[in-house]
Amino acid sequence: MKRREFLTSITALSVASTIPNMSQAEVVNGGQPWVPGNVKTPLAPPRKGGLQYLTQHEFDTVGAIAERFIPADETSLSGKDAGCAIFIDRQLAGDYGNAVAIYRLGRFVKGTPEQGPQSPLTPAQRYRLGIAALDKAMQQQYGKQFLSLSSELQDQVLSEMEKDALNLGEDVETRVLFELLLQNVREGFLSDPIYGGNKDMTSWKMIGFPGARYDFRDLLPKKGLKLNIIPTSLIDNTL
Amino acid sequence: MNGDTSADDVANNKVLTRQLPTAADAAAIERGKYVAIASDCTACHTMAESKLSLAGGYLISTPFGGIYSSNITPDVETGIGNWTERDFFRAVRHGKGKQGENLYPAMPYNAYVKLTDEDMHDLWMYMRSVKPIHYQVPETDLGFPFNIRLIMMGWNLLFFRNDSFQMDLSKSVEWNRGAYLVEGPEHCAVCHTPKNIIGGDSSKYLQGSNLSEWHAPDITPDPYTGIGLWSEQQVIDYLKLGSNHVAVASGPMAEAVTNSTQHLTDTDLKAIAVYLKQVPASKTIRPTSIAPDTAQMKMGENVYSANCTACHNSDGKGIPNLAASLAGNPGLMADDASSIITTILQGGRGAVTVGNPTSAAMPSFAWKLSDEQAAAAATYLRNSWGNAAGAVSADEVARARAELKLPAQMAGQ
Amino acid sequence: MNNVRPKADVAIVGLGWCGSLIAEELSRAGLNVVAIERGPWFETSTDFPPSVDTDELRWDTRRSMLLPPAVETTTFRNNITQTALPSREWNLNELGYNVGGSGTHWAGMAWRFTPFDFEPYSQTIKRYGKSQIAKGVILQDWGITYDDLEPFYDRFEKIAGVSGKAGKLKGKIIPDGNPFEGNRSSEYPLPPLESMRLTDIFTEGAKKIGLHPFMVPAGQASRAYVNPLGVRMGPCTYCGYCLYYGCGNFSKSSPNACVIPALMQRENFTVLTDSAVVRVNTADDGKTATGVTYLDKNKKEWVQPADIVILSAFQLQNVRLLLLSKIGIPYNAVTKTGVVGRAYSFQTVSGAALYFRNENLNQFIGAGALSSQVDDWNGDNFDHTGLGFIGGAGILVVARGARPIGNADSLPPGTPRWGKDWKKAYTHAFQNATFIFGQGTSFSHEDYYLDLDPEYKDDNGNPLLRVTFDYNDNDRRSAKFIEEKSVEIGKSMGAEQVIGTNSASGSYSPYNFASDHTIGGAVMGTHPETSVVNRYQQCWDVHNLFVLGASSFPNNAGYNPTGTIGALSLWTAKAIIEQYLKNPGPLVKV
């Protein structure tokens, strides 16, 4: 058992608790382990500035797509200004981008729609291949990269991708790429700002989501009413 | 005379600790086990996370160096197997080693001096019955000049009162039992009485003391910072269950409850409660509550509302026996805010007891709150729901964060 | 074998609800119990306190608490003419990966099944005749009745701290409870959770058309509570971070909050974490288990010998371990012989999408099981004559939490999914879009089953479990019926748009998140030719092996399975303590 550590006449002291026998790793007996100061925090947020996976051009392209998916208006920042591309860059550099949780053993064989994704491509790879293929297709069709097209044309191209009506070559499943982009941009827009997006909680203010709050008991008498709760996030120095 | 250990001569000087007790000794051993629990020997004499019970080796860090607790099992080579009962008495009650050397007062002999001869004999019988463990404790080396144990003689002259326990015949048997337990085996003053600069007890008996990042609260019957508003039963609940209507034992006290006080008999717990409710109250002066509209209080309210009410409630009353009530919590309002700062930064866990195995833990907030926010929350708690206490500053929090080696608030984007 | 641990009286595989409940019973009875859990130790304030819980991306979108497919997944095909392929990405098989198992992240819907659900065969024959049973549907009685299990449901509810209101108490029907439930001997230990705007609208709408709505029994404590094990729970704060999240303030029923604190005080209980059991070992004659083999954190192989082995590793893993250990005769879908992997079922889900015009549903305030439901169309609660199917569904609304990312596509049909109009539509939908959930019975079928995949393996080289499954005709018909009923209720609720939904109209897919209730495969029954375990969840072939979990259900009811799983675990514990220990051997003679 961990003892309280103190000295009668001296003031040095460290924390005490009752910890069971953990001398053999992963054998737990005699109590519930607990260590002070130990919390499984979210992954450390992005460094300010600098890209961890995307090239500058890819980053700008993703930013442009985010802006089309979520344009700026009086209700919120654009997806680009909200930081969706920063969010995506950090996600692609981490476990999500590298498909760490995904089963990637055995033969990759395309199956029925019900059998779901059977591709060896990780999200990070899809972005790299997909943006290159998109630019190539745009170059062929319009003589410019996606980034340089007008907003209207960008919207049109994205609609085509959504309908799977844009051929991006053998290696790129257009519809899958589109859904991936849309999903990740939404994640960047709507997740906690600690992950790099949703700047100033812009999306939560738009939809009226209170964010990182845990106790709504005092509001139960107000059911059915508009609540106007000021949102907060995991790290929030505006409190 | 301080060096006078003649009170220990009552103990036998022939039988060695290593000698196995007989069946006839069973009752004494049982009583002695209780004395060991009440005195919480295991607190220092068993290593952290170890099943080597009473084999020592626990490193008590002091500004002068680390002091290792000794192996007090009956092992002959590495423990006290060759000690006589008298040797044992002299160590526990007078801080003398087998060769007559002074023990460092990490060993609270200045409290244990009050143990009666009967309790000491039973305690020794219990020690003879524990499993001998061969474990060589590392040498304690404090460095010059503290490695000269003679220095303790000077300390003893100043602070060691070589008096055995004296009953106060004007008080009840129950009060006396409580006095004995508190002053002797449970040695509460060791934490709860503030010390002077070289570590002796000041005269502010049980009025609360700073222990680095903890503050052991005032346990006099003061109604503001002490247990004055607690009934005897509420004191008993705290010591037996680890929590009562308001407080949850955490930090070093959680351990004292788990290993010691929860195992005392109901009669003994009542005696302690009776005694504590009659010691001189600290007469701490209650300040005016800080107004809720200061910038710091408003920040504190927002931080509290977003982070704390899910367990501690918007009315500050907590969840019985799970999350402490902050409203009307005397320890929270001590002038020294160390405990609340430490708890906010590193979390805390309630005492595990037979009656309350859940011992819910509070998470660490160091990663989530800035120094300003933690200080604002602490100030808010100390001044809401009828509470009143001094403000906590961001600097205090920053110092505690550094001492506890906890991370800074996680950076935003 | 070099690495052998000291022998235990009982080895338990998987420390979730089943494992912790039976460990508590058996360790209290004095046995030396060792549980082996694949995942790590979990502690509320360290792993899921309120301060990190409020993070949809991490826990919901990325499923951080769940068993990743990379560690283990299943292969899948709709029928035996197809080649099964791995379900490579996150899908509806949602296993735990921690001490507490899926009981740590579940939604908390804490049901009892009804008397019909345990005797579907004899009750269907009696009421409708054999012709009511669709071709190929496996319909069999469990070998136990609701009445057998009632005291154990009662105890589970008390341990878990379930909040609800009885509808049938000691034979009397109580208003505002569920009039169709099985008879209860006592009230719920806690009163129901507070009702939300959504549940109010549903209750009103359902009553208007003559149905009998009630608050769903919830594994969220409506008050601070002390359970029979002396473990304390706090009151639910309606935070809306429930399904997929651990509960940060001790208010969601879970093994962690309700059982483990008491269990860990016992010297005769040990859990080995980060240890994956790969096999149950049997004696040479195959009639008894000798213990289990597991891989520790460093993939080193160990043996835990034991006198009794209990599989409580989640339905899928239980079946897989039986197959990997070569215990029982695997089911062959061509010859229709064998039992391990037979009688696999799911949950038949249909309902309606609702879009209100100008509501403030505030769905971010909620709890996992905060729901209002009608059982009028569930089980055998209505006359099925002429309908061509058996079973039905509980029909409910869930005020469970808001999921800003997860609900970004909950939009009326035709709504753009991006751009300015999406922003406007989503802002409106956030307060006005919801759904009616018909959680229906699921009957197993002789064409659908579980076995080991011939090609794909996990990273230890062991074959993955192969799922061959699709909806059968009976369940397709009942789903359509329930869709119609859901639309009726939705209209009565006053939604501006009500659109029927039906996950059973097409083919089943693990990527269509209709439900995560995967059921059967090692079912209980009255005879070894149609079941793997007997009525005590004792393996017919290996008498000191007990298999606990939803793997025991030969059919799934129109309810979530956890309450029944918990009750059955306690029922088996009693059988072991009072019968098996005194006289080790088969508890049921055939």
Mean pLDDT across C39-44: 95
Q: How would residue C239 be classed by pLDDT, with cut points 50, 70 and 90? A: very high
Assess if residue B143 is contained within a domain: yes
CATH assignment at residue C163: 3.50.50.60
Q: Are residues B26 and B80 located together in one domain of the fold?
A: yes
- The CA distances from residue A153 to A65, A147, A217, C99, C417, in Å, are 12, 10, 49, 53, 18
Same domain, B261 and B304: no
Question: Chain B residue closest to C224 (CA)?
Answer: B319
- Judged against a pLDDT cut of 70, whether residue B155 lies above it is answered with no
b/e map of B228-238 (b: 16 or more CB within 10 Å)? eebebeebbbb
C544-574 tens-digit pLDDT: 999 999 999 999 999 999 999 999 999 999 9
- The tokens of A158 are what? 């994205």
Question: Measured between CB atoms, which of A103, A114, A209 is closest to C73?
Answer: A103
Question: In this complex, which of B310, B357, B362 lies closest to C261 when CB atoms are compared?
Answer: B357
Torsion angle of alpha carbons C216, C221, C225, C229, nearest 10°?
A: 80
- The pLDDT assigned to B295 comes to 98
Q: Which of C50, C224, C231 lies nearest to residue B310, judging by beta carbons? A: C50
**C244 φ, ψ (degrees, to nearest 5):** 85, -5
**Which among B214, B345, B406 has CB closest to A13?**
B214
pLDDT digits (tens, 9 = 90+) for B350-365: 999 999 999 899 999 9
State the residue for tokens 């949602």: C94
What gap in Å lies between CA C452 and CA C330, rounded to an integer? 9
- Please check whether residue B254 lies inside any domain of the structure: yes
| pLDDT tens for each residue of A93-132 | 999 999 999 999 999 999 999 999 999 999 999 999 999 9
| ipTM (interface pTM) | 0.96
Residue B399: CATH number of its domain: 1.10.760.10
- Do residues B40 and B11 share a domain? yes
- The Cα A180–Cα C363 span in angstroms is 26
- Which residue out of C384, C428, C445, C517 is catalytically annotated? C517
Q: Do B413 and A83 count as a contact with CB atoms less than 8 A apart? A: yes
- Which range (B41-50, C230-239, C513-522) has the least confidence? B41-50
Q: Are C137 and C445 in contact (CB under 8 A)?
A: yes
| Residue C26 token pair | 């058996």
A137 membership: H or E segment, kind and range: helix A123-142
Mean pLDDT of C296-311: 96
CA distance C435 to chain A (A): 17
Asked if B127 and B251 sit in the same domain, the reply is no
pLDDT digits (tens, 9 = 90+) for B80-113: 999 999 999 999 998 888 888 877 767 788 899 9
B84 and B206 co-located in one domain: no
CA dihedral C508, C513, C516, C518 (to 10 degrees): 10
Q: Is residue C263 part of a domain?
A: yes
Q: What percent of chain B has pLDDT over 70?
A: 93
User: B411 CB near a chain A CB, below 8 Å?
Assistant: yes
User: Would residue B151 count as lying in a domain?
Assistant: yes
CB contact under 8 A, A20 and C85: no
Measured in whole angstroms, the distance separating CA C49 from the mean position of its chain's CA atoms is 24
Q: Given an 8 Å threshold on Cβ–Cβ distance, is C45 in contact with B311?
A: no
Cα distance from C156 to chain A (closest Cα, Å)? Answer: 22
Calpha distance B347→B323 (Å, rounded): 12
pLDDT of residue B4: 85
The tally of CA atoms less than 13 A away on the side-chain side of residue B65 is 12
* Average pLDDT value for residue range B267-271: 98
In a domain, C568, yes or no: yes
Q: Which of B242, B276, B310 is the last residue of a domain?
A: B276
The answer to whether residue B356 neighbours chain C at the CB level (below 8 Å) is: yes
Whether C517 sits among the annotated catalytic residues: the reply is yes
The whole-angstrom distance between A211's CA and the closest CA on chain B is: 10
What is the model's pLDDT at position A15? 23
Report chain C residues whose CB lies below 8 A from the CB of B307: 50-51
- Asked if B45 and B129 sit in the same domain, the reply is yes
Q: How far apart are CA C471 and CA C474, in angstroms?
A: 8
Check if the beta carbon of residue A32 is closer than 8 Å to that of residue C269.
Answer: no
Q: Indicate whether B413 belongs to any domain.
A: no
Q: Which residues in chain C have their CB less than 8 angstroms from residue B349's CB?
A: 45
B63 within domain boundaries: yes
**CATH at B239:** 1.10.760
Q: Each residue of A18-39: pLDDT tens digit?
A: 334 343 448 898 888 888 999 9
Question: Residue C281's pLDDT is what?
Answer: 98
User: Whose CA is closest to C522, among C18, C7, C10?
Assistant: C18
Full residue range of the structural domain in which residue C417 is found: 8-580
Tell me: pLDDT of B268 over 60. yes
Say yes or no: C47 contacts chain A, CB-CB below 8 A: yes
Q: Which residue has the tokens 């999200």?
A: A123
Q: What does DSSP assign to residue C550?
A: G
Q: How far apart are the first and last CA of chain A?
A: 40
Q: Are residues B149 and B181 in the same domain?
A: no
Residue C589 lies in a domain: no
CB contacts, 8 Å: B347 with chain C: 45
Distance CA A209, CA A230 (A): 8
Specify if B354 maps to a domain: yes
pTM score of the predicted model: 0.94
* C457 falls within a domain: yes
Tally C-beta pairs within 8 A across B and C. 65
B13 and B155 co-located in one domain: yes
Contact A84, A77 (CB under 8 A): no
Q: Give C315-329 pLDDT, tens digit per residue.
A: 999 999 999 999 999
Q: Is residue C106 part of a domain?
A: yes
Q: Where residue A12 falls among pLDDT bands split at 50, 70, 90?
A: very low
Domain count of the fold of chain C: 1
Would the CB atoms of C271 and A28 count as touching at under 8 Å?
Answer: yes
**Residue C2, in any domain of the structure:** no
Q: Which value, to the nearest 10 degrees, does the dihedral of the CA atoms of residues C65, C66, C68, C69 take?
A: -160
Q: How many Å apart are CA A138 and CA A237, to the nearest integer?
A: 44
Q: What is the pLDDT of residues C358-410, one digit of tens each?
A: 999 999 999 999 999 999 999 999 999 999 999 999 999 999 999 999 999 99
Interface touch B363/C230, C-beta < 8 Å: no
Give how many domains chain B has, as a whole number: 3
pLDDT given at position B275:
97
Residue contact C248–B352, C-beta within 8 A: no
Contact list in B for residue C50 (CB cut-off 8 A) is 307, 310-311, 363
**Residue C495 CB neighbour total at 10 angstroms:** 24
Parent domain of B103:
6-159
Q: Which two tokens stand for residue B389?
A: 């206490």
- Structure-token pair, residue B396: 């205090």
Last residue of a domain, one of B117, B136, B159: B159
* Same structural domain, B177 and B229: yes
Q: Return d(Cα A177, Cα B36) in angstroms, integer.
A: 70
Mutate to test the interface with C, among A38, A105, A122 (most CBs of C within 10 A): A105
- Pick from C271, C405, C419: CB nearest A187: C405
Kindly list the residues from chain A whose CB atom is less than 8 angstroms away from the CB atom of residue C257: none
For residue B145, pLDDT over 70 is answered with: no
Nearest CA to C255 among C208, C203, C196, C314?
A: C314
* The dihedral sign for the CA sequence C303, C307, C310, C316: positive
Residue in chain A lying closest to B155 (CA): A9
Which residues, other chains included, contact B166 with Cβ-Cβ below 8 Å and sequence gap of 6+?
A: none
| B381 falls within a domain | yes
Using a CB–CB cutoff of 8 Å, tell me whether C285 touches chain A. no
Residues B234 and B348 occupy one common structural domain: no
Which candidate, A239, A114, A33, places its Cα nearest to that of B359? A33
Is there a single domain that holds both residue B250 and residue B299? no
Of B241, B276, B311, which closes a domain?
B276
**B404 and A37 in contact by Cβ < 8 A?**
yes
